[in-house]
Amino acid sequence: KAGVTQTPRYLIKTRGQQVTLSCSPISGHRSVSWYQQTPGQGLQFLFEYFSETQRNKGNFPGRFSGRQFSNSRSEMNVSTLELGDSALYLCASSRGTGEKTGELFFGEGSRLTVL
């Protein structure tokens, strides 16, 4: 069974640009969550999607947005990049319901560097 796939794995952008990251969840998983991981702030929740609906979001500015498609694949977008957006962006999928509630399967992450 294929795991969670994130693309691209590494990318370098300059301030002011925008970036789109992609996440393909495990087959059958309808929930996709996004987290930002930095040395200073640790792991912070960005948002979660289930069946194309955003069910929850964290405390990030509106420059951070996301969406989910009918096949459960998800994208997140960061516009007007700032130096502080440099981070590892992790995607996690789950079934979203049932006795495995909260069991997240993480991808390897997309490492974004903003220059």
- Site size toward other proteins (CB under 8 A) is 27
Alpha-carbon gap, residue 66 to 68, rounded angstroms: 7
Q: Is 64 in the site for other proteins (CB under 8 A)?
A: no
Give me the residue label for tokens 């796939």.
5
Helix (H), strand (E), coil (C) string for 12-55 = EECCCCCEEEEEECCCCCCEEEEEEEECCCEEEEEEEEECCEEE
Please select the residue that binds other proteins; options are 26, 76, 90, 114, rule is CB under 8 A: 90
Among the listed ranges 11-19, 51-59, 61-69, 75-83, the one in contact with other proteins (CB under 8 A) is 51-59
Please select the residue that binds other proteins; options are 9, 15, 55, 63, rule is CB under 8 A: 55
Q: Is 92 in the site for other proteins (CB under 8 A)?
A: yes
Residue 45, classified by CB atoms within 10 Å of its CB into exposed (0-12), middle (13-18) or buried (19+), is middle
Q: Is 112 in the site for other proteins (CB under 8 A)?
A: no
Other residues' Cβ atoms within 10 Å of the Cβ of residue 44:
14
Minimum distance between the CB of residue 35 and other proteins, rounded to whole angstroms? Answer: 8
Task: Say if strands 110-114 and 10-13 run parallel, antiparallel, or are unpaired.
Answer: parallel
Q: Is 102 in the site for other proteins (CB under 8 A)?
A: yes
Binding site for other proteins (CB under 8 A): 3-4, 31, 33, 35, 42-45, 48, 50, 55-56, 58, 90, 92, 94, 96, 101-109
